[in-house]
Amino acid sequence: MHRTPLDRLALIIVIIGALNWLLIGLFQYDLVAAIFGSSTTFISRAIYAIVGLAGLYSISLLFRESTPVRD
């Protein structure tokens, strides 16, 4: 399947968000909050919202038809 630049960007953001959740789950360390302030600051909340929107967009990748590769 051909991925658009927006598809790739969304996947990168989702992967970064997943790594942050991994850090939270294993070490109780929130990297976003550590970099941008507590999880209640506007910037941290905006980052969480962007990750969430990228996750919602990435759901569409599951339902896209793959295009056959032409030789």
Q: List pLDDT tens digits, range 6-62.
A: 999 999 999 999 999 999 999 999 999 999 988 788 999 999 999 999 999 999 999
**What are the domain boundaries of the chain?**
28-63
Residue 71 identity (one-letter amino acid): D
* This prediction's pTM: 0.82
d(CA 5, CA 70): 21
Q: Would you state the structure tokens that stand for residue 44, as one six-digit string?
A: 């941290």
| Contact yes or no for 24/30 (Cβ under 8 A) | yes
Residues 38, 67: Cα–Cα separation, whole Å: 44
* Cα 24 to Cα 30: distance, rounded to the nearest angstrom: 5
